[in-house]
Structure 1
Amino acid sequence: MTSDSGSALQRSSQLTTFILAPNPGPMSLDGTNSYVLRAPGQSAAVVVDPGPLDERHLTALARAGAVELILVTHRHADHTAGSARLHDLTGAPVRAADPNHCHGGGEPLAHGEVIRAAGLEITVVAAPGHTSDSVCFHLPADGPNGSVLTGDTILGRGTTVLDYPDGTLGGYLASLDRLEALGPATVLPAHGPVLPSLAAVARDYRAHREERLAQIRAVLDRLGRDASVVEVADAVYADVGPSVRRAAELSVAAQLSYLRGDGGGQAATAGTVG
């Protein structure tokens, strides 16, 4: 599988560069940012989110350094489809929270684990919400405030989509609180541009969720507590196009489950409907 897209490394922070994967779309925005991490003076590198199974993209990542480890933020194909192939190209193990996406002897990731590779210390931060297996990667030495690779938990543009029933909205809100506590770290999202302050963005994301919940409460007051997902989506997301309508309905389902207290509502595809 090949592509004619560019494959140039772009600087994203003091300790990271990225290559934009050739998979733009309504849910992946400009494409997947595949990050290359290394300390100054190191030839070894860590790749985060190899992206799609695109041979030119994966070859560019393999040539970006002596790849010693491959990490993935969550299970979606726009992050993991190229993982096994990148392992073949580099010999590096692939680690993810979900053991189904570990390759080459890579062990599942654990919250709070500190990974030492490519001259770096990378702390794993569990962030269920976009998916039940979502994690972020904290680089505390990356610039004056550190940086966090947020996967699809926080995007560079728009908000992530809740994919019920993979997890809970309550879990997602807790993840935002956990990320806010990391302070003004640079946000290195898997889709969209770099952002300057994780704490500020996490607060904005929480405010957005609270606004959506208020809108849904108002619709339920008008239509009745048993209103369907489709009815609520028609009222709250009337302006979204057909390409993201399914994502809107998933988000509504998650929020209805949260409001009704039955424990549902986490997240799946990226996108800008939330």
Structure 2
Amino acid sequence: MNDELIAPGVQRVLAPNPGPMTLDGTNTWVLGDVAHQAPVVVDPGPLDEDHLRRVLEASGLRISAIWITHRHHDHTDGARRLAELASCPVMAVDPEVATGRDQVLSDGHRTVVGDLEIVAIATPGHTSDSASFLVRSPAGPALLLTGDMVLGRGTTVITYPDGDLGAYLESLELMIKLVDDHQVVEILPGHGDRVRDPGSVLRYYRKHRQQRLDQVRRALADGARSAAEVVRIVYADVDPAVWPAAEQSVRAQLDYLNS
């Protein structure tokens, strides 16, 4: 998977931080026709000078604002440095990530970059501050940037205790509605390749979560007493390298079942 032009005014710059949780690396998104205006950059990724320079070059050496999908370091560590290079603000739901009080993203916050309209939508679950960005244009189809709420392959982690399964399930329903109402043709995730069948994938995510809950219930009925014991039963077919992350999701599932 290489850097690429996704649609008119939509570019991906892949960060060099591959791993079990980041897949091929963090997707940094550049939104806007850089020949005519300063774009919005979503999720600058790690603090890697070469990557940030590539993002700046892809942006035409100017950026109007940096938007953040959620606070995790693989999405945010390069944000302050890129903001310094481009003399632009960092906008995020988490005030600790945003560069100022006026840069805190709220649900429904909207900006226009040339022909692109970008709308921030609160979609908590993976983290409490997770947001997705709906991108619309009269010249092209609607897209949805989801951070880590939806991935290009596999399923996401509920990062308990900050993440919350109940909120995640509600956000899935909201994203399904967004895809249907706005005829979204692709999800652009924080990691992995583009999701070209967003409605089906989101419905699979919903089904998968319900199946995992059923598996957790059975594991508890069979005598599992801790999150780690549940992981060994329910995630036996998953690479043990991701078991610590799976345990976070299991803790979120147990909290959900006990609520």
Normalised by the size of structure 1, how large is the TM-score?
0.87
CA distance in 2, matches of 1:105, 1:94: 11
* Matching of residue 153 in structure 1 with residue 129 in structure 2: no
Partner residue of 2:76?
80
CA distance in 1, matches of 2:28, 2:119: 18
CA distance in 1, matches of 2:84, 2:173: 38
Structure 1 range deviating more: 170-179 or 111-120: 111-120
Structure 1 range deviating more: 135-144 or 95-104: 135-144
1:202-256 deviations in whole A, cap 9, x for unaligned? 11100100110111111122217xx211111111012333321101111111101
Change (3 A) 1:142 1:260: farther
CA distance in 2, matches of 1:143, 1:28: 32
Change (3 A) 1:81 1:28: same
CA distance in 2, matches of 1:118, 1:86: 22
Maintained 8 Å contact 1:15/1:142: no
Maintained 8 Å contact 1:38/1:118: yes
AA paired with 2:137? Answer: A
* Matching of residue 216 in structure 1 with residue 212 in structure 2: no
Change (3 A) 1:25 1:231: same
Tell me how far 1:187 sits from its aligned partner.
0.5
CA distance in 1, matches of 2:141, 2:89: 29
For structure 1, the residue ranges without an aligned partner over 5 or more in a row are: 1-5, 262-274
Maintained 8 Å contact 2:46/2:73: yes
* Matching of residue 228 in structure 1 with residue 226 in structure 2: yes
AA paired with 1:29? Answer: L
Spell out the pairing of 1:184-263 with structure 2 (5 A cutoff).
184-185=183-184, 186-223=186-223, 227-261=225-259
CA distance in 1, matches of 2:24, 2:34: 28
CA distance in 2, matches of 1:164, 1:210: 17
Maintained 8 Å contact 2:9/2:34: yes
CA distance in 2, matches of 1:42, 1:16: 14
Normalised by the size of structure 2, how large is the TM-score?
0.92
Equivalent pairs, count: 253
Aligned counterpart for 1:60 among listed residues 42, 50, 54:
54
More RCO (CA 8 Å, sep 6+): 1
Aligned counterpart for 1:165 among listed residues 136, 161, 164:
161
SS of corresponding position for 1:99: coil
SS of corresponding position for 1:208: helix
CA distance in 1, matches of 2:100, 2:166: 34
Tell me how far 1:195 sits from its aligned partner.
1.2
Aligned counterpart for 1:100 among listed residues 91, 96, 99:
96
CA distance in 2, matches of 1:142, 1:199: 21
Maintained 8 Å contact 1:46/1:118: no
Change (3 A) 1:105 1:215: closer
AA paired with 1:218? Answer: R
Q: Which stretches of structure 1, 4 residues or longer, exceed 6 Å deviation after superposition?
A: none
Tell me how far 1:96 sits from its aligned partner.
0.4
CA distance in 1, matches of 2:219, 2:153: 27
Query: More helix per residue: 1 or 2?
Result: 2
CA distance in 2, matches of 1:234, 1:179: 31
